[in-house]
Chains A and B, each alone.
Chain A
Amino acid sequence: MTDIASAEFDAGTAPLSAAGVGDYWALLKPRVMSLVVFTGFAGLWVAPGHINPVIAAVAILCIAIGAGASGAINMWYDRDIDAVMNRTLGRPIPAGRMQPNEALSFGVMLACGSVILMGLAVNVAAGALLAGTIGFYVFIYTMWLKRRTPQNIVIGGAAGAFPPMVGWAAVTGDIGWPSVALFALIFFWTPPHFWALALFRSGDYQKAGVPMLPVVAGPRETKKQMLVYTVVLWPIAVAPYFMGIAGAAYLAVAAVLSLCFTGFSVAVWFDATDKWPKRMFAFSILYLTLLFALLILDRAPGGLLG
């Protein structure tokens, strides 16, 4: 057995990479990517107009690769705090399976490739929006806000909210108001979703020095703001119906789900343990997934009500 640590190139050149394919896959944050692909597809699906199925598939692929690229660059930049948080300790860079520069070059290559492909194969508007999304996540959220303000995920949440607009722009070539409503839905959903997680992971964030709201302002203030955001979500969640991109079935289910989301927030308010924050975090994922699934189903041939 030979240790490759001693088989490195001369000083000044990169050492041999010990990263496997799985490590590159992990860099793309596949779970985040799946939600981004799903919401991006919803934007594309509900947009008025026609798009060639191959071009639609390319648009979704570009959204997926762009999201993955953002994740890879994020892991490169956050490698120092990833190494102190239990949740992120096993990521390829802090675990020592990948050199930071490998992750950065991989992320930049994917980011440029996805934007260029989107711009050339789909349309310039979608390409520009995708570039803006990646830039927002990397520069505004990861490098600027995340370590400086407890409002990090409020403003940074915009990065995760762009994909439906990208999908919409892929079909229409512009930004329509309904796509802005889908953006708002994810934007206002993000704070209660992440703060529910932060409530039961605050120790991790505190250790890493990330000023998440529960760490800086305490659980009480966090729970209050979570409640406010879930109430703000009521009109936004039902807006797709009034904008004509969803039917009555969507309206009814969205109203019920939004009330449930607020109900979870109320339960979190009265709960001093981790039990209800964990439940609310799980429900928040279900909430957004169901709303976007309903939007897609409502536009499927026959619609939700047949």
Chain B
Amino acid sequence: MSVSMEEFLKRRKSRNKAILAVLVGLCVLFYAITIARLTH
């Protein structure tokens, strides 16, 4: 399947944003786990 360069760049940008969101989410998650474990 081939897509236009414009569409490819759009998809790559959205993938990068999703990866950023996942990384931020993981930071928050590990912070929350640490707090939860410390207060347990």
Which residues of A line the B interface, CB within 8 A?
1-5, 7, 16-21, 24, 52, 54-55, 58, 61, 95-97, 121
Contact = CB atoms under 8 A, between A and B. Distances in A.
Chain A to chain B: the 8 pairs with minimum beta-carbon distance, closest first = A96-B1, A54-B36, A5-B2, A2-B5, A20-B11, A1-B4, A21-B18, A52-B36
Instruction: Give the interface size class of chain B.
Output: 20 to 34
Interface string B1-35: 11111111001101101100000000001001101
Contacts of B33: 54-55, 58, 121
Nearest to B21: A21
A4 B15 CA distance: 17
A179 to B, nearest CB: 22
B1 A18 contact: yes
A58 B3 contact: no
A90 to B, nearest CB: 12
Contacts of A52: 36, 39-40
A20 to B, nearest CB: 4
A209 to B, nearest CB: 25
Nearest to B15: A21
Interface of B: 1-8, 11-12, 14-15, 17-18, 29, 32-33, 35-37, 39-40
Looking at A7, A95, A121, the one whose CB has the most chain B CB atoms below 10 A away is A121
B11 to A, nearest CB: 4
A21 B40 contact: no
11 contacts: A1-B4, A1-B5, A4-B3, A4-B4, A17-B12, A18-B8, A18-B11, A20-B15, A21-B11, A52-B39, A55-B37
Given A1-B6, A19-B11, A20-B11, A97 B35 contact: no
Between A7, A20, A55, A95, the greatest number of chain B beta carbons within 10 A of the residue's beta carbon is seen for: A20
A17 B14 CA distance: 12
Nearest to B36: A54
Nearest to A95: B1
A1 B8 CA distance: 11
